[in-house]
Amino acid sequence: MSDCLFCKIAAGEIPAKKVFEDDDVIAFHDIHPVAPVHFLLVPKIHIDSLAHATAEHQTLLGKMLLLTSKLAAEQGLSDGYRTIINTGHGGGQTFFHLHMHIIGGKPLSTNIS
């Protein structure tokens, strides 16, 4: 998508503090972190949101979930971390390219509201 921030970051057209990259995904630090560690894991292909993912994305989504523990450990989150996928306006999504937040480095409330 030509006008999508995360497509542009994935294409290297907009800089980001990269955590990880391969052919399928890119991870980079959130520009407005809510915790000492807060990065985004983003598929390189444009998918508007989790609600727009289909069976053809199953392997990609599984890969993203499994990557979170490796990347979190590399960022020092040995005590645990939180993953969040905001989906749609009602879910608090503000950038409509599917992305997973990985957050940690401070005690996180058990209240996820």
- Which residue numbers are catalytic? 99
Query: Which stretches within the chain are classed as H helix?
Result: 5-10, 58-74
Pick the closer one to Zn ion by CB: 4 or 53. Answer: 4
How many CA atoms does the CB half-sphere of 35 hold within 13 Å? Answer: 20
Measure the CA–CA gap between 43 and 47, rounded to whole angstroms: 8
CB of 94 to ligand 5GP, least distance (A): 4
Is position 97 an interface residue for Zn ion (rule: CB under 5 A)?
A: yes
CB of 7 to ligand 5GP, least distance (A): 12
What are the residues binding ligand 5GP (CB under 6 A)? 5, 16, 28-32, 86, 92-95
